[in-house]
């Protein structure tokens, strides 16, 4: 059955006013365009409770006691990867039988929801200080300086399926990760504020020599196609292939300006969004 629209407070008060001046329920209904039963219900509520306001509804009792709510909230706070099945079993051992949707609804009322875990770099104190130093040094750089940077990175593309994810209960939650290799396709790419540069498929395991070859064949053509200004700056992270002595020497001989980059800072590189 479809839900009926609730009468406004003014309409309910008008029903009472008309009733008090002696009009019948039928007459009030005809005047206001309402059913006689609706008018009667409003008048009976007013006679019983002396108000036409909505009264508190009791609703169905909670299946999980306040103590049970505290228990499962404490459990997922300590271990956000706890599953609904785990919580169902915990409550059953405590004498409360509930379903998984009940667990979800209860935790949602506590401000917790099930999300895919977010991965962030594993930062040591030295990484934190390096990132802070980088931010302070570039805090007042004008937009023109950033528009003159070519950003680059390698990325792994999964051909089939996707990287495994886990669900966590959280208001805000992250888990630390470390870098690892592997994958079906490895790509190298670059871009600037003026647009994307070349995108290269790396068909073999990349080493320092291959990385320098990629830069030699693709970085300068990308800068030319993007019409970068004189003195443009190249950015890459601190991957060992990038920081190898031979690579640094090659960059120096080619007169490339390289942006000093703090370790473990992929989130500072706008190419991650691309």
User: 165 pLDDT band (50/70/90 cuts)?
Assistant: low
* Fold of domain 135-158+183-273: Nucleotidyltransferase; domain 5 (3.30.420)
Sheet (strand 233-235) strand order: 195-202, 185-192, 149-157, 233-235, 257-258
What confidence score (pLDDT) does residue 78 get?
Answer: 87
211-225: b (≥16 Cβ within 10 Å) or e: bbebbeebbeebbee
Mean pLDDT of the chain: 85
Question: Between β-strands 257-258 and 167-170, what pairing exists: parallel, antiparallel or unpaired?
Answer: unpaired
pTM of the model: 0.51
The answer to whether residue 82 scores a pLDDT higher than 70 is yes
Region 50-55: mean pLDDT is 82
What confidence score (pLDDT) does residue 146 get?
Answer: 94
The 10s digit of each residue's pLDDT in 221-262 is: 999 999 999 999 999 999 999 999 999 999 999 999 999 999
Residue with tokens 């309910």: 12
Region 169-185: mean pLDDT is 56
Task: Pick the most confident of 50-64, 73-87, 112-126, 166-180.
Answer: 73-87
Residue with tokens 């919580």: 87
User: 1 pLDDT band (50/70/90 cuts)?
Assistant: very low
123 vs 200, more confident: 200
The 10s digit of each residue's pLDDT in 180-231 is: 444 578 899 999 999 999 999 988 888 999 999 999 999 999 999 999 999 9
Burial class (CB in 10 A: 0-12, 13-18, 19+), 165: exposed
265 close to 131: Cβ distance less than 8 angstroms: yes
The 10s digit of each residue's pLDDT in 89-117 is: 999 998 899 999 999 999 988 888 887 66
CA dihedral for 156, 162, 165, 171, sign (positive or negative):
positive
Helix 208-225 to helix 245-253 angle, to the nearest 10 degrees? 30
Concatenate the DSSP letters of all residues of 200-240 into one string: EEE-S---HHHHHHHHHHHHHHHHHHTTPPTT-EEE----H
Which tokens belong to 56? 């508190």
What confidence score (pLDDT) does residue 177 get?
Answer: 52
> Rounded distance, CA 136 to CA 52, Å?
62
What confidence score (pLDDT) does residue 58 get?
Answer: 66
Domain residue spans of the chain:
9-49, 66-110, 135-158+183-273
């Amino acid at each position: 059955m479809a839900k009926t629209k609730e009468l406004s407070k003014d309409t309910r008060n008008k029903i009472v006013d008309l009733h008090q001046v002696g009009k019948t329920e039928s007459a009030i209904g005809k005047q206001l365009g309402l059913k006689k039963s609706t008018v009667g219900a409003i008048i009976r509520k007013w006679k019983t409770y002396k108000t036409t306001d909505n009264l508190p509804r009791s609703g169905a009792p909670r299946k999980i006691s306040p103590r049970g709510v505290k228990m499962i909230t404490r459990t997922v706070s300590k271990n956000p990867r706890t599953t609904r099945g785990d919580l169902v079993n915990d409550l059953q051992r405590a004498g409360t039988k509930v379903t998984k949707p009940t667990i979800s609804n209860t935790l949602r009322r506590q401000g917790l929801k099930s999300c895919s875990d977010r991965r962030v770099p594993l930062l040591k104190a030295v990484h934190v200080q390096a990132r802070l130093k980088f931010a302070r040094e570039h805090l007042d750089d004008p937009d023109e300086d950033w528009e003159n940077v070519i950003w680059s990175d390698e990325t792994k593309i999964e051909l089939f399926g996707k990287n495994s994810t886990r669900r966590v209960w959280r208001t805000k939650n992250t888990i630390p990760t470390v870098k690892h290799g592997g994958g079906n396709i490895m790509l190298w790419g670059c871009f600037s504020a003026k647009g994307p540069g070349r995108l290269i498929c790396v068909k073999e395991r990349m080493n320092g020599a291959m990385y320098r070859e990629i830069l030699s064949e693709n970085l300068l053509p990308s800068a030319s196609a993007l019409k970068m200004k004189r003195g443009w700056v190249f950015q890459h992270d601190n991957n060992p292939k990038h920081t190898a002595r031979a690579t640094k020497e090659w960059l120096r001989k080619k007169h490339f300006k390289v942006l000093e980059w703090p370790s473990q800072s992929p989130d500072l590189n706008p190419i991650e969004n691309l």
